[in-house]
Structure 1
């Protein structure tokens, strides 16, 4: 009877056969293909059937970047995800390292492209959270015996922690046994505090202009390889750490996409903070109840109402719209772009927009992690992981952080504010490395000239958050003038307030450069069909400067701070300088959780950017106002 129906109706029947329910693995169509040649030909030649089945079961955001998908492409991806779910359902971890990576990458990409929640539903149906938690609790320290006891910064560990983070919910955290929660905190603790050993950014935060040139220009028309920048050995390896990941050729709809693993330490910090934000800040009975009831004091101090307000921001608050470390948000699309373009500080595209303008505008609230300076010095001096490493051993405490931030943008075609070093960015680097670029035999300059040139190339002014010293801002309506001693002019930036940012793709120089770069990529795709790259869309913005402060009521409780900084275009790294009358602190990190969180590290604002410093983690969340 089925064969008597028109082909269009047969496809409808086959679709419902393959998808009897929304949640759950799709039913294989192979038995249908064995019935007769006509049904086999209909299934094999039906592009829209496999696309319908895939779209009913899984999210397909990344398919938008791949034009001309055919039935075999949709079928491949459907089978790929189905097989991955089957292994997860069996609570299996393949013993073969390559097969394990393939499985973890498949699940991670499902998490990353889950726009509509379909992938999460399928992963929950096979108990993926319990599966990946089992991996974290039992395999995170695989290989640590050959690594002085420290857990490896491996692709597997990075993918596992990010998968577990995406599948974490507030209910799961609140119902997690305290003993289990403490075990997970102790497992990720080395990643949280080990900024001297593990990568904390896609490229060290002392660089603003990336990708780095292969050689540094020196006086007298000479040059030197930039590898000389890596010059400070420590017991834990070279510092600062230049991330140069070996790309994973991920198969997406039968197209090979080169991806670097996500930043492991960023996921570890979020796992740490959510399990410590469960606990409220205490209120001594002697603490004043309100500001009106408090006696006058020369220094800031909190009242009970300040503590109550801060506690309301734990884990995003009761409605998920407050500060703190938010749970249950989508992974940002920016992470996919970083994995494509930021695997190597010496390569990548400077015409991409990793950072989404507007992400930092508003009030951010959260915590910064403090530790004993002498305990940190002990960790730095010894390569081995101390026995019994714990929060208590490091005398770790947390401090509230409030930041009200505003973005100032410079459009393509306008003049960009120089960085502290007052030098232009390096010339555009190609997408691929030239392996012979450092092999030229060139004469070396005098040592003092080399030292000066390396210092200029090494630090773009992290201590001033990439801004000229003594930068000042002058309001001019919707525009803001930025000036500093040593600059010969004032630079005009625009407040990011709609509709002040008008982006015309036809006239935008950034869009024009993007199209030129895309033509190069398309030509490479023709020559090498295993590669597939699509640059992010141009936003019309070429530079983002941040300014901010603390609101009056938060100033009275926690101290007065002014904030200024910049966004690194290459990977979206945010570097902020927070100043008070007592100290300067540098915050650097990334927007995560679909633009709702800002996480990373803080460090003291003085000292050599090439050396490990007093440093700790922080986690802030945007407040919906």
Structure 2
């Protein structure tokens, strides 16, 4: 009997592609397994719709299932060419399948957590939904609770500062929601805080920066590269400040089928976010002996006849209990793009980074540039994008200050071995609400910026004085004049005002001879 061709074989390929794509829309979550029966219909259809010959179909499927606009902003239009999106679809589907298995002991765990981290940094709403349905929140929660302190014997008992641990903590922070916080029992909350607490408080061992913060001006002098770093202290944790070889930090991946060099994000930042989101679930007890409000505090100072060191008031504690210093990440929603007006939608689609974008992933664009270009403080890449958005430090800052018992803390940071008696009581931490009202000031060409302070020996740029030399500062009417009494020079800065172009110079702020930072922003 002669084989009969399926009537589907007579359908033009372009129509078959539409059928395949719309079939995947019936189940937008997870891998597009729903089209497998269609691919198995016959050899003709399988060939016409194969991954190899029909990459534009799989690129369409990718765009309907995952977020892609961040890739355009960060890599350019090349990232969204059909072959690249098709390969990304295959990579993401493999990671979702891996996450669904929930194997926290797999040798491939780091690789797949990297991909999940990329997805969350590019999330506008869809990536998170896919990862959540695959079980990422449960996977990283299990890993942190069961494996975060693994292999401590290789680091004198201290929790490891590894890429795997960093990615797990960042993903735990990304997937922390108000609902998950409420679902945790007090015991689970305290256990998690204790697991991350070494990263939070042991600054000599776990840095928060890719480069030591004693420097203001970058790139660093190449003379410091090698075996003669300008170390100040030798500690049981190594030299301090921590200068790290870029080769030991950088990792190489292919993302959207393009080479990507990236360093693991600092583990301490994620640990602090996790710690404080849980800590803030327990409100402050309001000290009854504190002044009721700021007016009462000022009256006490007047009655005392001398200046009293400022402390929080009862009102400050109530205000702090009402607000959260650390807020869970805004994870967006699946159809966010359709909710925008035409103008906002066009700005999201043109692939240009700018302030005011509505996409949730744009909140991480500055961080992405730091992760990919700031791990080497001896070099500045021409490809580096914007690492800081003007106005970020403008406004009222709210946070918590941890004040450890000084003797217990000194014992902790000078201990070569992780202390066996490490606990919530050792070192004991007092927490206080802290408020700062910040303003940004920018030196705009043709003005000259202030030289950094310090000894100008290539090591210390004056961190103990906010990186300034000895100065007198005068602010009035949106202008800040900084008198450098060391070099007998006065610099003029303008106070940043949102929407008025202040702090956005058309040309680079000039430097004076003798080095020093660009002076494009100064923080009060």
Q: Distance in 2 between matches of 1:168 and 1:213?
A: 41
2:281 is the alignment partner of 1:278: yes
Aligned residue number for residue 366 of structure 2: 334
Aligned residue number for residue 501 of structure 2: 501
User: What are the equivalent positions in structure 2 for 1:126-525 lying under 5 Å apart?
Assistant: 126-215=134-223, 227-230=228-231, 232-244=233-245, 245-284=248-287, 296-298=299-301, 299=308, 300=310, 302-313=312-323, 315=324, 324-329=325-330, 332-349=364-381, 352-411=385-444, 414-421=447-454, 456-475=457-476, 477-501=477-501, 508=507
Q: CA deviation at 1:137?
A: 0.9
Equivalent residue in structure 1 for 2:71, among 55, 59, 62: 62
Q: Please tell me whether the aligned partners of residues 81 and 106 of structure 1 are also in contact (alpha carbons under 8 angstroms).
A: yes
Q: CA deviation at 1:499?
A: 3.9
Q: Please tell me whether the aligned partners of residues 242 and 345 of structure 1 are also in contact (alpha carbons under 8 angstroms).
A: no
Q: CA deviation at 1:353?
A: 3.2
Q: CA deviation at 1:243?
A: 3.1
Q: CA deviation at 1:292?
A: 6.8
> CA RMSD, aligned part only?
2.7
Q: Distance in 2 between matches of 1:482 and 1:121?
A: 50
Higher strand proportion (structure 1 or 2): 1
The verdict on how the C-alpha distance between 1:306 and 1:382 changes in structure 2, with shifts beyond 3 A counting, is closer
Q: Please tell me whether the aligned partners of residues 105 and 250 of structure 1 are also in contact (alpha carbons under 8 angstroms).
A: no
The verdict on how the C-alpha distance between 1:71 and 1:371 changes in structure 2, with shifts beyond 3 A counting, is same
TM-score by length of 1: 0.69
Q: CA deviation at 1:66?
A: 4.0
Q: Distance in 2 between matches of 1:94 and 1:292?
A: 57
Q: CA deviation at 1:128?
A: 1.0
Return 273-282 or 59-68, whichever deviates more. Answer: 59-68
Return 44-53 or 85-94, whichever deviates more. Answer: 44-53
The verdict on how the C-alpha distance between 1:70 and 1:380 changes in structure 2, with shifts beyond 3 A counting, is closer
Q: Distance in 2 between matches of 1:232 and 1:487?
A: 29
Q: CA deviation at 1:266?
A: 0.8
Q: Please tell me whether the aligned partners of residues 455 and 462 of structure 2 are also in contact (alpha carbons under 8 angstroms).
A: no
Higher helix proportion (structure 1 or 2): 2
Return 292-301 or 343-352, whichever deviates more. Answer: 292-301
Equivalent residue in structure 2 for 1:88, among 82, 99, 107: 99
2:29 is the alignment partner of 1:23: yes
Q: Distance in 2 between matches of 1:14 and 1:100?
A: 32
Q: Distance in 1 between matches of 2:405 and 2:54?
A: 64
Q: Please tell me whether the aligned partners of residues 214 and 463 of structure 2 are also in contact (alpha carbons under 8 angstroms).
A: yes
Q: Please tell me whether the aligned partners of residues 32 and 40 of structure 1 are also in contact (alpha carbons under 8 angstroms).
A: no
Q: Secondary structure at the match of 1:200?
A: coil
The verdict on how the C-alpha distance between 1:295 and 1:225 changes in structure 2, with shifts beyond 3 A counting, is closer
Q: Unaligned regions of 5+ residues in structure 2, if any?
A: 1-6, 302-307, 331-359, 510-517
Q: Unaligned regions of 5+ residues in structure 1, if any?
A: 217-223, 316-323, 424-455, 511-540, 548-625
Q: Distance in 2 between matches of 1:234 and 1:19?
A: 58
Q: CA deviation at 1:229?
A: 1.0
Highest RCO, 1 vs 2 (Cα 8 Å, sep ≥ 6) = 1
Q: Please tell me whether the aligned partners of residues 13 and 48 of structure 2 are also in contact (alpha carbons under 8 angstroms).
A: no
Q: Please tell me whether the aligned partners of residues 442 and 503 of structure 2 are also in contact (alpha carbons under 8 angstroms).
A: no
Q: Distance in 2 between matches of 1:542 and 1:23?
A: 48
Q: Distance in 2 between matches of 1:500 and 1:379?
A: 49
Q: Please tell me whether the aligned partners of residues 47 and 70 of structure 1 are also in contact (alpha carbons under 8 angstroms).
A: no
Pairs aligned (count): 464
Q: Distance in 2 between matches of 1:491 and 1:226?
A: 37
Q: Please tell me whether the aligned partners of residues 137 and 184 of structure 1 are also in contact (alpha carbons under 8 angstroms).
A: yes
Aligned residue number for residue 104 of structure 1: 113
Return 302-311 or 117-126, whichever deviates more. Answer: 302-311
Q: Distance in 1 between matches of 2:76 and 2:420?
A: 50
TM-score by length of 2: 0.81
Q: CA deviation at 1:502?
A: 6.8
Q: CA deviation at 1:406?
A: 0.7
2:44 is the alignment partner of 1:11: no
2:31 is the alignment partner of 1:41: no
Q: Secondary structure at the match of 2:214?
A: coil
Q: Distance in 2 between matches of 1:374 and 1:286?
A: 27
